[in-house]
Chain A
Amino acid sequence: MNIELITFFIFSLLLVFTCLKVITSSNPVLSAVNLVFSFFLSAVLWLLLGAEFLSIILILVYVGAVMVLFLFVVMMLDINIAKKSAAYINYLPLGIGIFLAFNALVIFFFVNTFENIDYNAVKNIEIISTSNTENLGYLLFTKYLVEFEIAGLILLLGIISAIILTYKKNPKNKYQNPTSQISVSKKDRLKVITGLKE
């Protein structure tokens, strides 16, 4: 048994375990923490595949940024323990429906791909070095430049529209004006009183 296989089994078993914890734990913060762990473990699996760039980006973006905000929001909520009750039963039919639909999709995809081999959207990649970080960067900035820029623009648009949708200026709010705070001088704050006697 080689060491890669052992690592794979250890990490994938842990991954399945943490994923189960995400959906079974009653505390939403614990679910979020377990989701963090499962992202981390799947990053390790990607690393085993040799996709070092994608796995590090998974940690950097999802674990380092997205899940932090997620955890932030979940912690602020005032629901410590979700009610364990008949809620499971109520949602069961919907859950089974989603499960079946998802599986049907996956099976459909696999059957299709095995029937006709030419399923890959990415064709004729020019490989310029052994490191896949360099290959990916080269491809994104040459062959797929337009798509890459459009994706960036869409994300920027998303940020701006989210800010516009949620930002409401409250006239009662008081703001500090840092420029005027910085530009105070001795004259504004100190008053030297002279000519006092007795």
Chain B
Amino acid sequence: MEPIFYIIKTLLSILIVVVPLFLIVAYVTYSERKIIGFMQSRMGPMRVGPSGLLQPIADVLKLVSKEIIIPTNANKGIFLTAPILMLVPSLMVWSVIPLSEYFIISNINAGLLFILALTSLSVYGVILAGWASNSKYAFLGSMRSAAQIIAYEIAMGFALVGVLMLSGSLNLQNIIYAQSGNIFSWFWLPLFPLFLIYFIAGVAETNRAPFDVSEGESEIVAGFHVEYSGMAFAMFFLAEYMNLILISILCSIMFFGGWLSPFQGTIIDSYLSFIPGFFWLSLKTLMFIFVFLWLRATLPRYRYDQIMRLGWKVFLPITFFWLSIIGILIFLKYLPLS
């Protein structure tokens, strides 16, 4: 009886995470259109439902009912596998994310490594989609995106080494516990350059503006997913927004204390103890999601060689430099040795 209960409990907790996640993705697209609309003095979607609130549902219905077109001479098996390869890793990562002090699907020891390994898999979806479409634009888009993702993954991994040095653990709950204290004991203060690099590299990893050369509407139509339609396209879309939310939540876990209250260590904290940790985590995550949308409304697209230069010649040396500074500070006991 015991293992059956265990399996049911795991399945339920997966449902508790995944179903709201899909809803959140739907409404992140809505808020993206609204926020960018307001930033550009437009109204955004207004027609479906009160102030356009039902727009995402209409979009989903449209995408589901559309036909999936497979181009001639496309490699059918890989063409249909690529969206799945894109979506599955970005869903799997959620199994190790601590959503509150008590809720985490699986609290594994090597959580950080698990996240790094799985986020490095999403590049396959892009490459294989571009190749299998048998289209020049799609292939160009996937080539660009693969080079970009490889370049920024290294900077991203090194930025997380700083978090590791301060927390002394690969377990995400322990990383959050190591930040407890007050708002200034969160890791954003000692690791400020690494935090910036992590966030910017995260934007580049998710192929979002201003690093969206793999889509580049004005140059290569829509990049690696030109040939996709209907549900297959919807899966790329879902994966992109899921990665956006993931990078935001990882930023808040690694550098902004996860579910810790920002008033910890002050007098107000005792009055606010009834607020669950999940509230603070989602507040921080929403802040980062807003920055993502803000970037898209504000910045023009980077030139391709500038992206490569930024990744290899700017970010990587800065991370090396800052890691050695952190090492020296720990050695001189200005920062705690975990």
Q: Residues of A with Cβ closer than 8 Å to B?
A: 3, 27, 29-30, 33, 36, 52-53, 56-57, 59-60, 63-65, 68-69, 71-72, 75, 131, 133, 176, 178
Interface assignment of B40: CB less than 8 Å from any CB of chain A: no
**A36 contacts B124, CB within 8 Å?**
yes
For chain B, residues 272 to 327, give those with C-beta under 8 angstroms from any C-beta of chain A: 305-306, 309
Task: Knowing A33-B78, A56-B113, A75-B127, say if A64 contacts B305 (CB, 8 Å).
Answer: no
Q: A30-B78, A72-B127 are in contact. Are A131 and B109 (CB under 8 A)?
A: yes
Task: Return the CB mask of B190-202 against A: 1 if under 8 Å, else 0.
Answer: 0000000000000
In whole angstroms, how far apart are the Cα atoms of A178 and B305 in the complex?
A: 10
Chain B residues with CB under 8 Å of A53's CB are: 110, 113
**Residues of the A chain whose Cβ atoms lie less than 8 Å from the Cβ of B143:** 72
Task: Name the CB-closest residue of B to A133.
Answer: B110
Chain B residues contacting A68 (CB-CB under 8 Å) are 123-124, 127, 146, 150
Give 8 closest A-B pairs by Cβ, nearest first. A64-B120, A59-B117, A60-B117, A56-B113, A131-B109, A56-B117, A75-B131, A52-B110
- Beyond A33-B128, A178-B309, is A133–B121 a contact (Cβ under 8 Å)? no
- In the bound complex, residues from chain A placing their C-beta under 8 Å from that of B128 are 33, 71
Tell me, in angstroms, the Cα distance from A120 to B143 when the chains sit together: 45
Chain B residue contacts of A72, Cβ below 8 A: 127, 143, 146
Q: Which residues of B contact A36 (CB under 8 A)?
A: 124
CB distance from A85 to the nearest CB of B (A): 22
B114 located at the interface, meaning its Cβ lies under 8 Å from any Cβ of chain A in the complex:
yes
Report B-chain residues with C-beta under 8 Å of the C-beta of A59: 117-118, 120-121
Q: Which of B104-131 contact A (CB under 8 A)?
A: 108-110, 113-114, 116-118, 120-121, 123-124, 127-128, 131
Chain A: minimal CB distance from B314 (Å): 10
**Could you say which of B78, B117, B131 contacts A64, with CB atoms under 8 Å apart?**
B117
Chain B neighbourhood of A64, CB < 8 A = 117, 120-121, 123, 153
Residues of B within 8 A of A30 (CB): 75, 78
B20, CB-defined interface residue at 8 Å:
no
User: SS class of chain A's interface: helix, strand, loop or mixed?
Assistant: helix
- Which residues does chain B contribute within 8 Å of A63, judged by CB atoms? 117, 120-121
B49 within 8 A of A: no
CB of B170 within 8 A of chain A? yes
Q: Is B50 an interface residue (CB 8 A)?
A: no
CA distance A131 to B114 in the complex (A): 14
Question: Across the interface, which residues of A come within 8 angstroms of B306, CB to CB?
Answer: 178
Q: List 7 A-B contacts (CB under 8 A).
A: A29-B131, A52-B110, A59-B120, A65-B150, A71-B124, A71-B127, A178-B309
Residues of A within 8 A of B117 (CB): 56-57, 59-60, 63-64
Closest CB in chain B relative to A129 CB, distance in Å: 9
Candidate in A64, A69, A72 with the most chain B CB atoms within 10 angstroms: A64
CA distance A72 to B131 in the complex (A): 10
For residue B118, which residues in chain A have a CB less than 8 angstroms away from its CB?
Answer: 59
Rounded to whole Å, the gap between the CB of B220 and the closest CB of chain A is 17
B130 CB to closest chain A CB (Å) equals 9
By a CB distance below 8 angstroms, the chain B residues around A52 are 108-110
Chain A nearest CB from B163 CB (Å) reads 15
Complexed CA–CA distance, A176 and B78 (Å): 38
> Are A60's CB and B120's CB within 8 A?
yes
> Beyond A68-B127, A75-B127: 15 further Cβ-contacts under 8 Å?
A3-B3, A29-B131, A33-B78, A53-B113, A56-B113, A56-B117, A59-B120, A63-B120, A63-B121, A64-B123, A68-B124, A68-B146, A75-B131, A75-B139, A133-B113
List residues of chain B with CB within 8 A of the CB of A178: 306, 309
State A65–B116 Cα separation when bound (angstroms).
Answer: 12
* A64 and B109 alpha carbons, distance in the complex (Å): 21
Measured CA separation A163–B110 after assembly (Å) = 34
User: Is the beta-carbon distance between A56 and B110 smaller than 8 angstroms?
Assistant: yes
Indicate if the CB atoms of A176 and B123 lie closer than 8 Å.
no
List chain A residues, Cβ under 8 A from B3: 3
| A3 proximity list for chain B (CB < 8 A) | 3
Complex Cα gap A52–B108 (Å): 10
Chain B residues within an 8 Å CB radius of A75: 127, 131, 139
Contacts of B109 in A (CB 8 A): 52, 131, 133
Chain B min CB distance to A34 (Å): 11
B69 CB, nearest partner CB in chain A, Å: 22
User: B108 to chain A: which residues have CB within 8 Å?
Assistant: 52
B209 to chain A, nearest CB (A): 21
Q: Which residue of B lies closest to A67 (CB)?
A: B124
* Alpha-carbon gap, A97 to B178, bound state (A): 57
Most buried by A among B117, B124, B131, B170: B117
A71 to B146, CA, bound (A): 10
CB distance from B86 to the nearest CB of A (A): 14
A108 and B128 alpha carbons, distance in the complex (Å): 42
User: In the complex, which residues of chain B have a beta carbon less than 8 angstroms from the beta carbon of A133?
Assistant: 109-110, 113, 170
Shortest CB distance B5–A (Å): 14
